[in-house]
Structure 1
Amino acid sequence: MIWLNWRQFRLQVLAGAAALAVIAGCLLYLGMDIRDAHDAYRSRCGDAAACAQAKAQFQGAYRSTLLFAAAGLALLPVVIGAFWGAPLVARELELGTHRLVWNQSVTRRRWLIARMAFTAAAAMILTGAAALLLTWAASPYDQVAADRFDVIGFGARNIVPIGHAFLAFALGTTIGLFMRRTLPAMALTGVLFIAVQFAVPNLVRPHLMPSESATLPLTVETINGAKNLGSITGAPVIGGLRVPGAPGAWISETSPMRTADGRTVDGGAFGACLDTPEETGAGGTFGDTAVCLAALDLHVDLEYQPSGRYWPFQLAETGLYLVAGALLTAVALRRVGRA
């Protein structure tokens, strides 16, 4: 059975190995480049002002590159599910070759377990190796950015991508078994797993563990430390804050700006500070706008996860994907017995 699986799957394995070699070469080069830039950044940290500028330049130089690398890694399980999982059984059913296989001494379920185990192991090894290489390459940047819970970055580091690979493969195999058509199964697998990749970080991850709460006064310094003010609808919101005393914390929810009595600040007052603040000559990211908003005695209520929970979240989310993949595998085994 192992020899048969290798014969049927060897081209995919060789293609995966070649892809991993290319990925490894690119990430090794990127990792060394980031480390050289990180050393240069640290050498410029003689005083606070120079260090802040060097930090901004270091992050700006690699932010987009690492974002694209993480997005590329996120597509790897999609490819695995669509091109390895969906055709695994669907092609046999479509071509009618399953009749020969299922008339041998090996039972249908044992045949499916052997095929899925062999291919799933290859998928998880390929994706896990790529994820560990990216984690290594990005580690100096991640230490400086202190944002390991970033929506895209979190799912492309350490062990979570291994769970992605298993679930995508199990999803593709199960869909192929039910649809019995290769191309439609491939398309549906890709669409569904991309939907999962969007849904889990935004709808499931924030609720994997109870969050901590904090109230953050909006001082001039706090506002200037944020990444954005307002929204396309004009709502009085602020984003990209940091929790004092909790470096690297993941803020999962930020309330609108609120007055001292807990009411959302009036949209007119917020708009006036945003569009026509009194000129004070203040510096900083938001300048006079920050001074105007701070004078309104505002605050926001935060829900956040401390940075120390990073590995519990990694384990919990990976476990979630593995359990979901195992359930799909059980469905596939039940189905193949009736096919």
Structure 2
Amino acid sequence: MIWLTYRQHRGQLLVMAGLLAALGVMFTVSWLEASAFVASHRGLGAGDLDAALGERYQAVYTLFGWLPIVAPALIGVFWGAPLLGREFERGTHQLVWTQGVSPRRWLAIKLAVLGGAVALGGLAMSAMVSAWRPLFRTDTFGNVGIFNMLGVEPVAWWVFALMLGTAAGAVLRRTLPAMAVVVGVLVVMTFALFSMSDHYATPSRVVTADGSLAQDVRLVSRAWADPAGAELTSPPPGVCPRESGLGRGERAQVAHERCLIVKGYRYVFYVHRPEMFWRFQLTDAAILLSGAGLLGWLTVRRVPR
């Protein structure tokens, strides 16, 4: 069965290996070029250098913005959805599941082999991003896109997407509808986990007069503190009337906030600090892998019927 699984899915395995190799080449080339760029611009300050790198490698950052959603979607759409949906569409399950291998064993071996390959692919991408990131000094915790490509997040997302596509194919018995379900559920899950993550830990309270925050923190909410220290959702409107002629644009907002600071008001931020990185990683992974296990159970229950 392991050899049969490889023969049936070797095209998908080779495509994934090719895409990971292409990503590896892109990371390697950009890292070497960026190293030379940094060496030749040592006179720039850290902020200016980061801005220059961001502008120079905007295409790489754009790719990063899409990868956390696109990579699991590709796994769910092209690996998970056809796994059972295509068998039902073509009627081949009537032949396959009447042989010496039972449907449960057939499905268990396929999911084990493909799930292992997907997990290894997720680990490979996580390792490449981890090696590439330090040179560019991008946020790892505050930047959710980078966060979802580090640690165990890719493994959890990719395995969840595989099980989601397989379960959708088992229930709907059609490949294209199962693909649509995969994309929709992954988008919903991405935003749901981002919203839920605010509650993984108690946020830290930061009071500041200049509105700046430490690097690589995840903002939960903001408020104001009056001169006595009492917290307000917003300052009373009569404290600093807006200057006439400035309108309601950015200049008016800046002038209004400066007036509040002069009168003793302070910014209040609730943030999660970067020390929470692994707590958030493991919590996300536990939720996604629990969901994958539940979907796997649903698939195993559905197939013999």
CA root-mean-square deviation: 2.7
Deviation for aligned residue 1:157:
2.0
Is 1:242 the equivalent of 2:196? no
Please name the residue that 1:304 is paired with.
271
Q: How does 1:134-153 map to 2 (within 5 A)?
A: 134-142=129-137, 145-146=138-139, 148-153=141-146
Number of the residue aligned with 2:16:
16
Q: After superposition, give the CA deviation of every residue in 1:164-213 in whole Å (9 maximum; x if it has no partner).
A: 10000100100110000111111111111122112211x22222223333
Q: Which runs of 5+ in 1 are unaligned?
A: 224-240, 278-285
Distance 1:20 1:248, change over 3 A: closer
State yes or no: 1:194 paired with 2:187.
yes
Structure 1 residues 1-339: aligned runs within 5 Å? 1-40=1-40, 43-44=42-43, 50-62=45-57, 65-142=60-137, 145-146=138-139, 148-201=141-194, 203-214=195-206, 216-217=207-208, 219=209, 222-223=210-211, 241-243=212-214, 247-255=215-223, 257-260=224-227, 261-263=230-232, 264-266=234-236, 272=242, 276=246, 288=255, 291-338=258-305
Q: Name the CA distance, whole Å, in 2 between partners of 1:274 and 1:62.
A: 42
Aligned partner letter, 1:303: Y
Q: How many residues align?
A: 298
Q: Distance in 2 between matches of 1:309 and 1:22?
A: 32
Aligned to 1:230: none
Question: Structure 2 counterpart of 1:320, which letter?
Answer: I
The 3 A distance-change label for structure 1 pair 326 and 107 is same
CA contact (8 A) 2:222 2:270 kept: yes
Q: By how many angstroms is 1:25 displaced? A: 1.0
Q: Which residue of 1 aligns with 2:250?
A: none
Unaligned runs of 5+ in 2: 248-252
Residue 74 of structure 1 contacts residue 156 of structure 1 at CA under 8 Å; is this kept in 2?
no
- Percentage of identical aligned residues: 25
Separation in 1, partners of 2:3, 2:20: 23
- 1:177, 1:332 within 8 Å by CA — same for their partners in 2? yes
Q: What secondary structure does 2:17 align onto?
A: helix
Amino acid at match of 2:7: R
Tell me, what secondary structure is at the counterpart of 2:100?
coil
Q: 2-side partners of 1:275 and 1:153: how far apart?
A: 42
Which amino acid letter does the alignment assign opposite residue 44 of structure 1? G
Secondary structure in 1 aligned to 2:264? coil
